[in-house]
Amino acid sequence: MIITIVGGGSTFTAGIVKSIALRKDELDVKEIRMYDINKERQDTIGVLVDWILHEELKTDIKLTLSYDKAEAYKDADFIFAQMRVGGYAMREQDEKIPLRHGCVGQETCGCGGLAYGMRTIFPMIEMIDDAEKYAKKDYWILNYSNPASIVSEACRKLRPNARIINICDMPIAIIDVVAAALEIKDKENIVYDYFGLNHFGWFTSIEYKGEDVMDKLRKYIHEHEILLPAAYLKDKAALQSKKGSEQNRHTKGSWYYVWKGVYEIMENFPEKLPNTYLNYYLQAKEFVEHSDPNRTRANEVVETRESNLFEGIKKYQETGIVDETVFYAGSHGDWIADLAIALKNDTKARFLVITENRGAIPNMPYDAMVEVPAYIGKKGPEVIAQDNIPLFEQGLMMQQLNCEKLLVEAAIEGSYEKALKAFTLNKTVPSMKVAKEVLDDMIEANKGYWPELK
């Protein structure tokens, strides 16, 4: 197997490579290739990846750092994608511009997510075309690149036959936190049901070894007034600390509010466990109130995950010592590597994936890209059929779905009016006038990244 990592310079590459290397026999992996458009960034991450493969785990997996598409994709079996178009500098704009107009500013939700989507659609299509041209005929692209919802809709529309599966690590990150809160050590024995769009869904049941644990979880969240494990809560300073292990990155910095928000939502709607991202839609006003428009998550990430990682690599180059806490390893990499194993070895293991609905949720459109459980074998996802979903969730999902579809149509047609409709339809935006102000600022900030809108 040849696995090509697109966005090789990502802060997640080292962790993903570690997960692949730990599964090298099941994946039969001979070569890992990294491909990026930023040579300096990828060359630096490559130093750590080389250490993981050849010093720490002592594998004989070949490592190639490439800046040439033909070389990077040639005969690749798997392409793991995680590009951040525009980098953290543009993420900062996505977060800060809407906040200046009193709207949610977030990486993948609200206007920020729409802006990020507009930047990412065409680079993703280019990547699919490169895979078609150079990779093995039965290649699979497993895509983490955000905003996964908009990306998946654009791929469905523009390249319907592409062998791409879009995925997200948030549901498993939530399950990791649930397991820690309920003191469950063997999280592989947790089975859950879920429906939604990406970053817009609900857990409808969570079982541990066949026993329903939703009630226990509800009690836990109600008593602690947050969904975070008691062990983490004891050390609030560690939660806010800039240094230290990235292993629990979802609990660092402003993520704290997100877990608090789960409690706030469940006090009113206790039946299902919401994906943390629903906070941005259901508590948009409150999010804006506790946000600092001059310091957002992008700033936190640059000052913590990114700087710890690059400083850690520098230290390794100077001293030969690697501090493993500088890079994130765990569920994020395990999930994508396990998905590749299911595809390659036709295991029919159950995963949550973002896939075309095709009747799986009867009262959502046939062509909606939904996030639902599916069995994964060599032919791809076999989606598990569900029942009709209730009015509240269906209404929210339809609004978000149509907003994202309009954004994709706006990008393809170069339509300002459709873009404005997408911004206006988003639940985080209070009026058409505000939508227009944010959109116009976004057009200005995204010059050189967005298609021209007329």
- The reply on whether position 10 binds ligand NAD by CB under 6 A is yes
Binder of ligand NAD out of 61, 109, 168, 434 (CB under 6 A) = 168
Least distance CB 198 / ligand NAD (angstroms): 8
Q: In the complex with Mn ion, which residue's Cβ is closer, 48 or 352?
A: 352
Judge contact between 173 and 142, C-beta under 8 A: no
Least distance CB 74 / ligand G6P (angstroms): 29
Please give the distance of CA 429 from its chain centroid, rounded to a whole number. Answer: 23
Pick the catalytic residue from 144, 192, 232, 277. 277
Q: Is 43 part of the annotated catalytic residue set?
A: no
| Partner in contact with 83, chosen from ligand G6P, Mn ion, ligand NAD, none, beta carbon below 5 to 8 Å by kind | ligand NAD
Q: In the complex with ligand G6P, which residue's Cβ is closer, 35 or 277?
A: 277
Least distance CB 41 / ligand NAD (angstroms): 5
Least distance CB 91 / ligand G6P (angstroms): 8
Least distance CB 249 / ligand G6P (angstroms): 5
Q: In the complex with ligand G6P, which residue's Cβ is closer, 248 or 424?
A: 248
Q: In the complex with ligand NAD, which residue's Cβ is closer, 223 or 303?
A: 303
Q: If DSSP states are collapsed to H, E and C, what string results for the chain?
A: CEEEEECCCCCCHHHHHHHHHHCHHHHCCCEEEEECCCHHHHHHHHHHHHHHHHHHCCCCCEEEEECCHHHHHCCCCEEEECCCCCHHHHHHHHHHHHHHCCCCCCCCCHHHHHHHHHHHHHHHHHHHHHHHHHCCCCCEEEECCCCHHHHHHHHHHHCCCCCEEECCCHHHHHHHHHHHHCCCCCHHHEEEEEEEECCEEEEEEEEECCEECHHHHHHHHHHHCCCCCHHHHCCHHHHHCCCCCCCCHHHCCCHHHHHHHHHHHHHHCCCCEECHHHHHHHCHHHHHHHCECCECHHHHHHHHHHHHHHHHHHHHHHHCCCCHHHCCCCHHHHHHHHHHHHHHHCCCEEEEEEEECCCCCCCCCCCCEEEEEEEEECCEEEECCCCCCCHHHHHHHHHHHHHHHHHHHHHHHCCHHHHHHHHHHCCCCCCHHHHHHHHHHHHHHCCCCCCCCC
CA pair distance 111, 436, nearest whole angstrom? 11
CA pair distance 12, 15, nearest whole angstrom? 6
Binder of ligand NAD out of 14, 170, 266, 407 (CB under 6 A) = 170
Binder of ligand NAD out of 18, 24, 33, 41 (CB under 6 A) = 41
- The reply on whether position 170 binds Mn ion by CB under 5 A is yes
Q: Is 169 part of the annotated catalytic residue set?
A: yes
> Applying CB under 5 A, what is the total number of residues that bind Mn ion?
2
Judge contact between 339 and 351, C-beta under 8 A: yes
Shortest-Cβ-distance residue relative to ligand G6P = 170
Q: Give the CA diameter of the chain.
A: 59
List residues near ligand G6P by CB under 6 A: 107-108, 146, 168-170, 173, 249, 297, 301
Pick the catalytic residue from 94, 130, 169, 176. 169
Please give the distance of CA 403 from its chain centroid, rounded to a whole number. Answer: 19
| Partner in contact with 426, chosen from Mn ion, ligand G6P, ligand NAD, none, beta carbon below 5 to 8 Å by kind | none
- The reply on whether position 278 binds ligand NAD by CB under 6 A is no
Q: CA angle, corner 49, sides to 299 and 130, nearest 5?
A: 85
| Partner in contact with 249, chosen from ligand G6P, ligand NAD, Mn ion, none, beta carbon below 5 to 8 Å by kind | ligand G6P
Q: In the complex with Mn ion, which residue's Cβ is closer, 111 or 439?
A: 111
Q: In the complex with ligand G6P, which residue's Cβ is closer, 21 or 173?
A: 173
Least distance CB 183 / ligand NAD (angstroms): 26
| Partner in contact with 41, chosen from ligand NAD, ligand G6P, Mn ion, none, beta carbon below 5 to 8 Å by kind | ligand NAD
Binder of ligand NAD out of 3, 34, 97, 148 (CB under 6 A) = 148
Least distance CB 267 / ligand NAD (angstroms): 27
| Partner in contact with 165, chosen from Mn ion, ligand NAD, ligand G6P, none, beta carbon below 5 to 8 Å by kind | none
Least distance CB 147 / Mn ion (angstroms): 8
Q: In the complex with Mn ion, which residue's Cβ is closer, 170 or 217?
A: 170
- The reply on whether position 146 binds ligand NAD by CB under 6 A is yes
Contacts of 347 (CB under 8 A, 6+ apart): 341, 376, 377
| Partner in contact with 7, chosen from ligand G6P, ligand NAD, Mn ion, none, beta carbon below 5 to 8 Å by kind | ligand NAD
Judge contact between 186 and 201, C-beta under 8 A: no
Active site residues per annotation:
169, 277
List contacts with ligand NAD (CB under 6 A). Answer: 6-7, 9-12, 36-38, 41, 82-85, 87-88, 123, 144-146, 148, 168-170
